[in-house]
Amino acid sequence: MTKNTKFKSMPSVTSIINSIDNDLGVHENFLKDLINQELDELRSKIINENYDFEKDVVIKKIVTAVTEKARSSFVNIINGTGIVLHTGFGRAPFAGSHLKILQIKLMAIQISSLI
């Protein structure tokens, strides 16, 4: 089998995606990138080592590798940055005595501006 024939008999990205479980929970573009990385490795083996393969076996190997990479890459997290910034939840509390002093100073400014 020639190299061109081997390249033509490589599995398509779509056929590999159809073989993968839908419960990975990753974006399709990320999934395609992982598959293309595996296919690039296969292409380099064909070029450098004159690698012989069976399409079904390659699909199973790629599905296994992609599944492992996709599951280990992401962990669900909660981004609470907006809550802290927009609600003031993260601000340090003011002491009551400081608030009273601030109130007295603001009242003095208002009174002096009226005179």
Q: Which residue's structure tokens are 């002491």? A: 95
Nearest to 20 by CA among 69, 62, 76: 62
pLDDT, one tens digit per residue, over 57-109 is: 999 999 999 888 887 655 666 666 666 555 555 566 667 787 788 888 888 87
Alpha carbon distance 105, 107 (integer Å): 5
**Length of the chain, in residues:** 115
pTM for this entry: 0.59
